[in-house]
């Protein structure tokens, strides 16, 4: 068993043009004052990190890490959710996902993919220079329009899609392997890795690459009506990162899993602040601890009702109250005696 580290917070949803949310120093002081001990850093905003420079300069990484440490914080992981998404984009999503591309690459879909792949390799080196062992990202998606088998899927389509996805990721995975860092894919809707079966398909397509791992976020499984507790039983050995995010699923006679094209507030499945939804975090933390998952508990705030400020304030206590200090002593080991083979034989009548 292993005690989960935390509480930590993912900065992505808190970035803003107003202080203290518009600079690394401001965010770190804010998080530290709230009581957080770790921070997950998105890598698309130069106000937080220059990813390319971090991949080139150990001095830059030492200074960045020192700055964050000066606030009593540790970096939990770097995040490349956006870049990972852009590694693989189905043509149906090209225009919408182009909003995340650098200005000079908008409309240049091949150039955007090449940029994303290089960004991922920068992230591998940067993570190593920062002393990190895990990295948070998305897989991207070539197959999501085929998630429901209508029109009928031609034979070989799914296999080809996962082979192409794996071919794009293998050089990136090798770069992470060279740097001793695990790639933790957030299992998430609109990603080709969105549940257990798809994770296994991707893992097999990469030849069971040892750097293919999981960022576990139970909120996405509630929306899919997937058993998020048994998921830990199946895949605990792959869980190397953890988002603490809640959600709820309240189907009606008018809407269910697909949501009826509604805004988040009016969907049957919607994200909530930790403790306000339906995730059984008591059991989640128990299982992750019992299985010895070496992870940070990272708050990811996404809520349709509660403000981010309140979510962040409450998140500290929520995570602290759920972290279990893993016992090193058996509760019934009161005798403390060494093995006495002669005694054991007498008990058994041997």
How does pLDDT run across 46-91, given as a tens digit for each residue? 999 999 999 999 999 999 999 999 999 999 999 999 999 999 999 9
Share the mean pLDDT of the chain. Answer: 96
Q: Which two tokens stand for residue 50?
A: 């220059």
Q: Which of 164-168, 288-292, 335-339 has the lowest mean pLDDT?
A: 335-339
Buried b (16+ CB within 10 A) or exposed e, 143-178: bbebeeeeeeeeeeebeebbeebbebbeebbebbee
Residue 330 has φ and ψ, to the nearest 5°, of: -75, 135
Q: Does residue 334 surpass a pLDDT of 70?
A: no
From 31-45, 227-241, 261-275, 319-333, the region with the lowest mean pLDDT: 319-333
Average pLDDT over residues 191-213: 98
pLDDT at 330: 77
pTM for this model (two decimals): 0.95
Q: Per-residue confidence at 338, pLDDT binned at 50, 70, 90?
A: confident
Percent of the chain with pLDDT over 90: 95
Q: What is the H or E stretch that residue 249 is in?
A: strand 246-249
Contact 100, 85 (CB under 8 A): yes
Taking the C-alpha atoms of residue 87 and residue 170, their distance in angstroms, rounded to an integer, is 12
Read off the pLDDT of residues 91-126 as tens digits, 9 standing for 90 and up.
999 999 999 999 999 999 999 999 999 999 999 999
The pLDDT value given to residue 336 = 62
Domain that holds residue 87: 5-348
Paired tokens of 307: 């403000």
The two most distant CA atoms of the chain are separated, in Å, by 82
Tell me the helices (H) and strands (E) count for the chain, helix number first: 13, 10
Looking up residue 32, the CATH number of its domain turns out to be: 3.20.20.150
Domain count, the chain: 1
Question: What is the C-alpha separation between 300 and 272, in angstroms, rounded?
Answer: 10
Chain segment 222-280, per-residue pLDDT in tens: 999 999 999 999 999 999 999 999 999 999 999 999 999 999 999 999 999 999 999 99
**What tokens appear for 228 in the block?**
């998020």
| Residue 182, phi then psi, degrees to nearest 5 | -85, 140
What pLDDT, in 10s, does the model give residues 157-184?
999 999 999 999 999 999 999 999 999 9
């Amino acid at each position: 068993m292993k005690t989960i580290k935390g509480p930590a917070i993912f900065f992505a949803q808190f970035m803003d043009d107003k202080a203290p949310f518009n600079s690394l120093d401001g965010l770190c002081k804010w998080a530290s004052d709230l009581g957080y001990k770790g921070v997950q850093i998105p890598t698309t905003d130069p106000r937080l990190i220059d990813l390319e420079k971090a991949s080139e300069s150990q001095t830059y990484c030492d200074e960045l890490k020192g700055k964050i440490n000066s606030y009593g914080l540790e970096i939990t992981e770097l995040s490349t959710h956006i870049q990972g998404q852009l590694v693989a984009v189905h043509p149906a999503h090209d225009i919408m996902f182009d909003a995340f591309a650098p200005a000079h690459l908008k409309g240049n879909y091949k150039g955007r993919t090449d940029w994303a792949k290089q960004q991922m390799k920068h992230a591998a080196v940067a993570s190593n220079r920062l002393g990190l062992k895990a990295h948070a990202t998305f897989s991207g998606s070539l197959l999501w329009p085929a998630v429901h088998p209508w029109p009928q899927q031609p034979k070989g389509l799914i296999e080809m899609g996962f082979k192409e996805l794996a071919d794009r990721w293998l050089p990136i995975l090798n770069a992470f392997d060279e740097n001793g860092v695990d790639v933790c894919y957030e299992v998430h809707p609109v990603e080709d890795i969105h549940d257990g079966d798809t994770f296994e398909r991707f893992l097999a397509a990469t030849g069971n690459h040892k750097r293919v791992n999981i960022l576990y976020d139970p909120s996405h499984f509630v929306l899919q009506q997937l058993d998020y507790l048994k998921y830990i039983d199946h895949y605990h050995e792959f869980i190397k990162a953890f988002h603490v995010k809640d959600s709820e699923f309240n189907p009606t006679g008018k809407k269910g899993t697909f949501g009826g094209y509604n805004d988040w507030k009016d969907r049957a499945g919607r994200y909530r602040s930790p403790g306000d939804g339906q995730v059984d975090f008591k059991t989640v933390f128990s299982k992750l601890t019992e299985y010895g998952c070496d992870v940070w508990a990272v708050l990811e705030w996404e809520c349709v009702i509660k403000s981010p400020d309140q979510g962040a304030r409450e998140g500290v206590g929520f995570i602290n109250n759920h972290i279990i200090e893993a016992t090193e002593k058996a509760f019934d080991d009161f005798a403390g005696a060494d093995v006495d083979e002669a005694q054991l034989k007498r008990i058994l009548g041997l």
